[in-house]
Structure 1
């Protein structure tokens, strides 16, 4: 996958900044910066819930001891909740369980708000994931969700002195969520999912925009896509985003494939029964030019090359900090 470099926002020469969600002034010096961090998600097709148990965040590097934030431990972090539990049902302290499927498109949830940290270049951002994470499938069955070494590690941000930075980690679950038993097994203890750092994007909110759109039912019918599903949590199509304009359909890879152009992101199209429309969204997309392709093929395993046939594609340009780019697919496209 093509990954764009993280870019710092312009230096802010302010003596004091107002913290998000409060009236206190956050004092910033020539050696510090303000850092906020949240999470968002692009959905998968087979899940009703994907609950991840976050316990801590670390900024590592910069020639200093790690800057650690334990959830629920200070005014800068989100409060802990009771969603994360041990096998015996006990609540795990200092954890916050988040159903990532509630954070689609431009929606996000903050884990750190306006924390003052030493300025500089951090080599890594690390997320500690506690036990208790799980995936609830559309049939109601629940399977455990684990992370290798219980920690997700990503390239860290650059925090310029005096700046106020807001970063989001976008979970592209169509790449990151791996079924450990894709063929199915009869022993429930082995039925679990893995959450891998593949497809996770750490982005500076000042450098991103959002994509959304509707797909006409006539377009779906013309291309033999399913329509009006009995369960509106079931996807009817999928939309893929590729870095660069005018990428040929024949060269577009699926999430586990090896064709010339790898997806920057992908998402599913769902029927909004209360609004009688078919909708999709991809949030926190770095500013630039992209090819958007749509398919009715929904079986895309993140670690295997699948036979995905794209129907058509369109070019878009995402601009930072703008209203979501609206791209629709209609009959005849």
Structure 2
């Protein structure tokens, strides 16, 4: 009887120790989350193609070492393609070339899908850009596209344990893409990039009446549908006065949150779209001035403006300029 009681006590103690050890092991396990990243774009004048060559996605600064994903190697990363080539025409391995001009409005293309990473606070998201990026102009000429240090360095991220974080990097090329004087190359500036959480953004679309364009001496019905006839600017906050609205390189009171072009559909309609806008109140303004140098203040005249509330939904809100 005493032996039975002793044996039971020993077994109970061993079970308790095993349970404690299991809890301790669980505490030491990394707390994981899932992370996805895509890219999108707002269009720019004078270019037929803006090809950007991505090679690696990296999260840094969580105290656990860098979390890196290489195009074409990691399952979560995008597949490599043959768009990025060196000066001899040889395909650059582990690269994915993306023509940003194909991703206007709410369109996007994934760079990283459901990557399992450790949760926590990351100080920086970095995208490594490979050689082979270029801008193809309307006349068919190609110019190299350069990124400082061959990296796009973005802001901090907080990824919650057990979450499923979906982010999009929006390229506002009317701000980001410049052609410095005296250089046979284009430069991608980080000031025109927006990294947004997809659960916190909405989209904007609309049409412009041809009569409004004609009455204000704007271009109409171009034979080439890729040529913009007007521009739309977006400013944070409602009721922004027209005379205080700045262009992308200007210094007036209110700076654009985003901007885009208005295009003719080849039949009778004129349309625009801006994607991945942080949910908020905005002023939308229309101008017939399509040339906007992001490095200088241009003489931009606005025809009219309207207020809009952008909500975090996949369905775009519509703002039309019809009179």
TM-score (norm 2): 0.89
The residue aligned with 2:156 is 156
- Residue 218 of structure 1 aligns to a residue in which SS? helix
The residue aligned with 1:51 is 51
The residue aligned with 1:34 is 34
1:156 to partner: Cα distance: 2.4
CA offsets 1:190-229 (integer angstroms, 9 cap, x no match): 4210001012000000000000011111111111110111
1:64 to partner: Cα distance: 2.0
1:214 matched to 2:200: no
CA shift in 2, pair 1:30/1:60, >3 Å: closer
Where do 5+ consecutive residues of structure 1 fail to align? Answer: 1-28
- Residue 64 of structure 1 aligns to a residue in which SS? coil
The structure with the greater share of residues assigned to strand is 1
CA shift in 2, pair 1:31/1:43, >3 Å: same
The residue aligned with 1:68 is 68
CA offsets 1:96-132 (integer angstroms, 9 cap, x no match): 0000000000000001000110101111111111111
- Residue 314 of structure 1 aligns to a residue in which SS? strand
Could you tell me how far apart the structure 1 residues matched to 2:311 and 2:247 are?
A: 25
The structure with the greater share of residues assigned to helix is 2
Q: 1:324 aligns with which of 299, 316, 319?
A: 316
Q: 2:275 aligns with which of 283, 290, 312?
A: 283
Report 1:297-308 matches (<5 A): 297-308=289-300
- Residue 229 of structure 2 aligns to a residue in which SS? strand
Could you tell me how far apart the structure 1 residues matched to 2:276 and 2:162 are?
A: 24
The residue aligned with 1:22 is none
CA contact (8 A) 1:256 1:306 kept: yes
1:239 matched to 2:226: no
1:30 to partner: Cα distance: 7.4
1:276 to partner: Cα distance: 3.1
The residue aligned with 1:294 is 286
- Residue 136 of structure 1 aligns to a residue in which SS? strand
Q: 1:265 aligns with which of 258, 272, 286?
A: 258
Question: Where in structure 1 do 4 or more consecutive aligned residues deviate above 3 Å?
Answer: none
Could you tell me how far apart the structure 1 residues matched to 2:113 and 2:156 are?
A: 17
The residue aligned with 2:221 is 228
TM-score (norm 1): 0.87
1:285 to partner: Cα distance: 0.3
The residue aligned with 2:18 is none
CA contact (8 A) 1:59 1:156 kept: no
1:43 to partner: Cα distance: 0.3
How many residue pairs align between the two structures? 295
Could you tell me how far apart the structure 2 residues matched to 1:147 and 1:224 are?
A: 38
Where do 5+ consecutive residues of structure 2 fail to align? Answer: 1-28
Could you tell me how far apart the structure 2 residues matched to 1:217 and 1:195 are?
A: 34
- Residue 320 of structure 2 aligns to a residue in which SS? coil
CA contact (8 A) 2:30 2:118 kept: no
CA shift in 2, pair 1:216/1:158, >3 Å: same
- Pairwise CA RMSD of aligned residues? 1.2
Could you tell me how far apart the structure 1 residues matched to 2:81 and 2:162 are?
A: 33
CA contact (8 A) 2:218 2:229 kept: yes
